[in-house]
């Protein structure tokens, strides 16, 4: 990597919240240099003036009690960084307050500008405005742990739960004069965790801590190309009063009960179907709403299910590979069934790839004379490529595409003379999309410099085979905002190159209506005139209940 960027940190001292300390540490580990601590004189004993009394905000009684007893965030624990920052220059600054805004003095601004910083992280002070916003080459970077298009102000991560919003968001922005309406540098949309405010907040904080290092690395690799400031006109929220807090606590109680009920008693039962329509017709018409025209595989016993279909056509028959999951074993192998269009029947599924560890999502592609399978195998820590053995009718491991990686739902396509590998990672399997690319299908894969190229629970995780429609490339992805595998989002890829990625959401498919399998819909795989799908229902399963109950007992 080229020489790192120089950055400053606006702070109250050398103690930082845990997520902030990790963000700074990641910057240092990536070769970027902390050059100046911009310290608030109101919080440091080194101030030449007597330390003033900071006016306490009159928060409601229920908020203060809940914050102390129920909402203790693990990511807000204070961490001392004096050893790591001992050699960093410091400037103690006294700001002028004007109508909730804070302005730096000319002397402090001159000292900060003389440090020639590339960017400043705002981990201190309050609403800063004025010339400080231009004191570093790439401005002041600040975090807002909510969706600025819906909720400005605070508390972070609170209002999506209160308003039953299935999606919570966080942004890192280059500050402008308008509150929570800066130039968005990074943004993530996460599933709202309705049963726990502190967990919902912690997820937002954890998600955002890598962004300063990611952004700094991208500036070195690609330059700085910020967009326009957010045009949000969202209302500015404040800390809730006692009545809203009472309602909020009742919501949390109700949500916690529903969370445990669903987690313990509602096991997923996926099944696979085939539709005699192309993926293009399915995606761009309203022809499919329920179970009509879908031929379903016969379900196995109550302890097993089939999901994640992919396939190929051979001798006018559709070969379907699938995840074959057992609740008793808590793992899946890859099985294969054959659909005969003449009789509209499925053969009995037989094992095609068997493993000691869990395998799923057997993505299929054809290259040359060979048929390949790319199953999800994150338990092994690599992405393995399997080739079909025609004589035995099974797939055998042929090549390791990427090692030391816990990839989820790997999907490989050839586009514009490059091979593009899409997947998410286990930690954020439903939100963070990564791309790697190579010149050959089994070549050396390189990471895209924008990784993760997308962070959106509504449309990131791969959901089947990308396809061409009217000359444009479309990518199916899962929408897991309301629940895992709720429906499929169809995205149109606008830019896909070694330095760019952009896609836009087009429409959703599913879930199925008035159908036995109405609780989820998370894979579409086009095969010429056919489309393979899966969908789910929920049902009590004793093995699932026992495993979930043991897990929660150990956790608590």
Q: Is 533 within the bounds of a domain?
A: yes
Cα–Cα nearest to 212, from 68, 6, 376, 409: 6
324 and 313 in contact (C-beta within 8 Å)? no
Print the domain residue range for 311.
267-555
Q: What is the pLDDT of residues 61-78, one digit of tens each?
A: 999 999 888 898 999 999
**Tokens 């149109």 identify what position?**
492
Last residue of a domain, one of 198, 233, 259: 259
Cα–Cα nearest to 145, from 294, 20, 27, 288: 20
Last residue of a domain, one of 224, 259, 294: 259
Q: Looking at the structure, tell me whether residues 181 and 290 fall in a common domain.
A: no
Reply yes or no on whether the pLDDT at 284 is more than 80.
yes
Q: Looking at the structure, tell me whether residues 50 and 167 fall in a common domain.
A: yes
Cα–Cα nearest to 185, from 176, 195, 193: 176
Dihedral sign of CA atoms 77, 85, 449, 372 in order: negative
Q: Looking at the structure, tell me whether residues 243 and 333 fall in a common domain.
A: no
234 and 148 in contact (C-beta within 8 Å)? yes
Reply yes or no on whether the pLDDT at 52 is more than 80.
no
Token pair of 24, please?
Answer: 């700074």
Reply yes or no on whether the pLDDT at 48 is more than 50.
no
Q: Looking at the structure, tell me whether residues 200 and 291 fall in a common domain.
A: no
Reply yes or no on whether the pLDDT at 187 is more than 90.
yes
Q: Could you give the CA distance from residue 13 to residue 37 in angstroms, rounded to a whole number?
A: 8
Q: Looking at the structure, tell me whether residues 277 and 146 fall in a common domain.
A: no
Q: Looking at the structure, tell me whether residues 532 and 388 fall in a common domain.
A: yes
Q: Is it true that the peptide bond before 81 is cis, omega within 30 degrees of 0?
A: no
Q: How far is CA 84 from the centre of its chain?
A: 30
Whole-prediction pTM value?
0.94
Q: Is 511 within the bounds of a domain?
A: yes
pLDDT at 336: 96
The DSSP output letter for 230 is P
* Mean pLDDT within 358-387: 95
Q: Looking at the structure, tell me whether residues 237 and 355 fall in a common domain.
A: no
Q: Could you give the CA distance from residue 171 to residue 186 in angstroms, rounded to a whole number?
A: 6
Reply yes or no on whether the pLDDT at 423 is more than 60.
yes
Least confident stretch, 137-141, 246-250, 541-545: 541-545
Percent share of the chain, pLDDT over 90: 83
Reply yes or no on whether the pLDDT at 482 is more than 80.
yes
pLDDT at 556: 56
Q: CATH number of the domain at 509, please.
A: 2.115.10.20
Q: Looking at the structure, tell me whether residues 382 and 408 fall in a common domain.
A: yes
The DSSP output letter for 406 is -
Q: Looking at the structure, tell me whether residues 500 and 419 fall in a common domain.
A: yes
Name the domain count of the chain: 2
Last residue of a domain, one of 259, 286, 302: 259
The DSSP output letter for 253 is H
Q: Is 1 within the bounds of a domain?
A: no
Q: Looking at the structure, tell me whether residues 378 and 524 fall in a common domain.
A: yes
Which of the four pLDDT bands, split at 50, 70 and 90, describes residue 550? confident
Q: Is 59 within the bounds of a domain?
A: yes
Q: What is the pLDDT of residues 318-372, one digit of tens each?
A: 999 999 999 999 999 999 999 999 999 999 999 999 888 899 999 999 999 999 9
Percent share of the chain, pLDDT over 70: 96
Q: CATH number of the domain at 233, please.
A: 3.40.50.170
* Mean pLDDT within 75-85: 95
Q: Looking at the structure, tell me whether residues 232 and 84 fall in a common domain.
A: yes
- Please return the burial class of 79, using the count of CB atoms within 10 Å of its CB with bins 0-12, 13-18 and 19+: middle
Reply yes or no on whether the pLDDT at 118 is more than 70.
yes
* Mean pLDDT within 162-179: 95
Dihedral sign of CA atoms 498, 504, 509, 511 in order: positive
Q: Is 148 within the bounds of a domain?
A: yes
Q: What are the backbone angles phi and psi of residue 117, rounded to the nearest 5°?
A: -80, 150
pLDDT at 47: 46
528 and 274 in contact (C-beta within 8 Å)? no
Which of the four pLDDT bands, split at 50, 70 and 90, describes residue 51? very low
Q: Could you give the CA distance from residue 499 to residue 449 in angstroms, rounded to a whole number?
A: 6
* Mean pLDDT within 209-227: 95
Q: Is 210 within the bounds of a domain?
A: yes
Q: Looking at the structure, tell me whether residues 370 and 311 fall in a common domain.
A: yes
Q: Could you give the CA distance from residue 397 to residue 354 in angstroms, rounded to a whole number?
A: 11
Mean pLDDT of the chain: 93
């Amino acid at each position: 990597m080229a020489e790192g960027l120089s950055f400053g940190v606006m702070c109250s001292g050398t103690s930082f919240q845990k997520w902030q300390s990790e963000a700074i540490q990641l910057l240092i580990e990536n070769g970027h240099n902390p050059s100046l601590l911009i310290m608030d004189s109101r919080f440091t004993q080194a101030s030449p003036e007597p330390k003033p009394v900071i006016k306490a905000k009159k928060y409601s009684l229920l908020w203060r009690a809940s914050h102390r007893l129920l909402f203790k965030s693990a990511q807000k624990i204070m961490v001392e960084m004096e050893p790591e920052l001992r050699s960093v220059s410091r400037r103690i600054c006294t700001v002028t307050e004007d109508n909730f805004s804070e302005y730096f003095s000319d002397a402090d601004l001159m000292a900060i500008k003389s440090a020639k910083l590339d960017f400043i992280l705002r981990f201190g002070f309050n609403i800063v405005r004025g010339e400080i916003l231009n004191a570093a080459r790439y401005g002041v970077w600040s975090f807002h742990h909510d969706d600025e298009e819906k909720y400005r102000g605070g508390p972070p991560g609170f209002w999506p739960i209160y308003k039953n919003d299935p999606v919570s968001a966080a942004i890192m922005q280059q500050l402008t004069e308008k509150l929570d309406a800066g130039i968005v540098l990074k943004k993530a949309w996460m599933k709202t965790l309705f049963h726990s405010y502190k967990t919902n907040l912690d997820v937002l904080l954890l998600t955002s801590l890598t962004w300063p290092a990611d952004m700094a690395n991208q500036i070195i690799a690609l330059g700085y190309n910020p967009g326009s400031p957010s045009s949000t006109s969202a209302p500015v929220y404040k800390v809730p009063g006692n009545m809203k807090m009472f309602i909020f606590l009742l919501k949390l109680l109700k949500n916690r009960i529903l969370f445990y009920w669903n987690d313990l008693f509602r096991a997923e039962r996926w099944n696979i179907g085939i539709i005699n329509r192309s993926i293009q017709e399915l995606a761009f018409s309203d022809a499919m709403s329920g179970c009509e025209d879908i031929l379903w595989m016969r379900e196995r016993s109550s302890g097993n299910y089939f999901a994640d279909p992919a396939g190929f056509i051979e001798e006018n028959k559709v070969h379907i590979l699938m995840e074959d999951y057992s609740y008793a074993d808590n793992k899946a192998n890859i099985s294969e069934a054959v659909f005969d269009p003449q009789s509209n029947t499925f053969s009995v599924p037989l094992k095609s790839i068997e493993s000691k560890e869990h395998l799923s999502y057997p993505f299929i592609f054809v290259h040359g004379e060979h048929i390949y399978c790319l199953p999800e195998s994150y338990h092994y820590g690599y992405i393995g490529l399997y080739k079909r053995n025609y004589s035995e009718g099974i797939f055998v491991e042929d090549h390791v595409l990427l090692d030391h990686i816990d990839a989820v739902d790997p999907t490989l396509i050839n586009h514009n003379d490059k091979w593009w590998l899409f997947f998410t990672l286990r930690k954020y399997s439903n939100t963070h999309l990564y791309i790697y690319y190579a010149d050959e299908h089994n070549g050396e894969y390189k990471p895209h410099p924008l990784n993760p190229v997308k962070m959106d629970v509504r449309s990131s995780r791969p959901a089947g085979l990308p396809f061409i429609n009217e000359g444009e490339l479309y990518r199916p992805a899962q929408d897991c905002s309301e629940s895992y595998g709720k429906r499929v989002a169809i995205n149109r890829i606008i830019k896909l190159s070694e330095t760019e990625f952009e896609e836009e959401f087009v429409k959703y498919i599913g879930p199925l209506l008035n159908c036995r399998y109405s609780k989820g819909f998370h894979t579409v795989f086009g095969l010429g005139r056919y489309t393979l799908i899966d969908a789910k229902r929920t049902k009590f399963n004793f093995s699932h209940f026992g495993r979930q109950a043991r897990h929660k007992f150990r956790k608590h």
